[in-house]
Amino acid sequence: MASMLASGDSLAVDESQRRWLRRRVLTWFDEQGRSFPWRVTDDPYAVLIAELLLQRTRADLVPTVFERFIRRYPDARALAEADPAEVVDALRPLGLLHRSARLPNLGRMLLDRFGGSVPSGESDLRSLPGVGRYVANAVLVVAFGRRRPLLDPNVIRLLGRAFGVASARTRAREDARMWGTLAELLPRRRSREFALGLIDLGAVVCVARRPRCLACPLRQRCIAFREGLVTPADPNGR
């Protein structure tokens, strides 16, 4: 397998390896990718709310709360006029109450600065409360179809196990080289599906404990699987 060596702002990845990874991930995603309500909407506001709710929260806990929240606060104006205590109460099942409390402020900022619309530029998105690089990119990818990397803990774990891509920084999500590597892996076509496919693979197959290696489309070239660095679940997922 081609090695990945430090190079500028990314980790060099052999082009044949990139093509192999893209094919594998896209095929798997087409067959087994997860379906969420915020992935099938064309409303940037709904996508932004979903990504904020997903912060430090398991994705499977979010759909019911998200759909109820969007019905109650369907746009920036409704959110801006909301009682902060009621917003906190609506999102209480997800925890992180400080995150919930700032959402009405997000609605007001969208109204005051962007006429109630969610902006389509990264710098404008990152000027919103609670929106960092990942959330901004996720909105651009899911809502606007942009070609952007999505580096989350699932993807970091997957890249580390499969290809030995690791960050020397304590917070890998803040490592520019990790973001650069992932950006280089994105295909020209179907980059949205590829980005979401990496996330889903890490979330449901390459899990933190007892990964489902025998169900993984990357095991053929996975360093951790080949060298016995992980303890896989049995074929039944136990």
State residue 237's pLDDT score.
Answer: 47
Residue 15 forms part of a structural domain: yes
State residue 13's pLDDT score.
Answer: 63
- The residue written with tokens 């280089």 in the block is 184
The whole-angstrom separation of Cα 42 and Cα 77 is 18
pLDDT single digits (tens) 32-57: 999 999 999 989 999 999 999 999 89
Beta bridge partners of 12: 5
Give start and end residues of each alpha helix (H) in the chain.
15-32, 44-54, 62-72, 76-80, 84-90, 97-101, 103-114, 122-126, 133-142, 153-163, 176-185, 191-204, 223-226
The whole-angstrom separation of Cα 64 and Cα 101 is 19
State residue 166's pLDDT score.
Answer: 85
The 8-class DSSP code of residue 119 comes to P
- Indicate the number of domains in the chain: 2
Give the closest residue to 173 by CA, choosing from 206, 132, 209. 132
- Long-range Cβ pairs for the range 46-51 (8 Å, 24+): 46/70, 47/118, 47/138, 47/139, 47/142, 47/143, 48/118, 48/125, 48/128, 48/131, 48/135, 48/139, 48/143, 49/73, 49/103, 51/134, 51/135, 51/138, 51/139, 51/142
Q: Are residues 19 and 55 in the same domain?
A: no
Question: Model pTM?
Answer: 0.89
State residue 137's pLDDT score.
Answer: 98
Q: Are residues 53 and 28 in the same domain?
A: no
Residue 235 forms part of a structural domain: no
State residue 235's pLDDT score.
Answer: 66
Contact of 140 with 183, CB cutoff 8 Å: no
Q: Are residues 68 and 135 in the same domain?
A: yes
Q: Which of 142, 174, 198 is the last residue of a domain?
A: 142
Residue 104's CATH number: 1.10.340.30
Q: Which of 126, 142, 158 is the last residue of a domain?
A: 142
CA angle 43, 127, 119 (to 5 degrees): 30
Q: Are residues 49 and 131 in the same domain?
A: yes
Residue 185's CATH number: 1.10.1670.10
Residues involved in catalysis: 51, 134, 152
Residue 238 forms part of a structural domain: no
Domain containing residue 112: 43-142
Q: Which of 116, 142, 168 is the last residue of a domain?
A: 142
What is the Cα 183 distance to its own chain's centre?
13
Q: What is the DSSP string of 135-174?
A: HHHHHHHHTT--------HHHHHHHHHHH----SSSSGGG
Q: Are residues 166 and 111 in the same domain?
A: no
Segments of the chain with pLDDT less than 70: 1-13, 235-238
Q: Is 35 exposed, middle or buried (0-12, 13-18, 19+ CB in 10 A)?
A: exposed
State residue 15's pLDDT score.
Answer: 83
Residue 30 forms part of a structural domain: yes
Residue 161 forms part of a structural domain: yes
Helix (H) or strand (E) holding 41: none
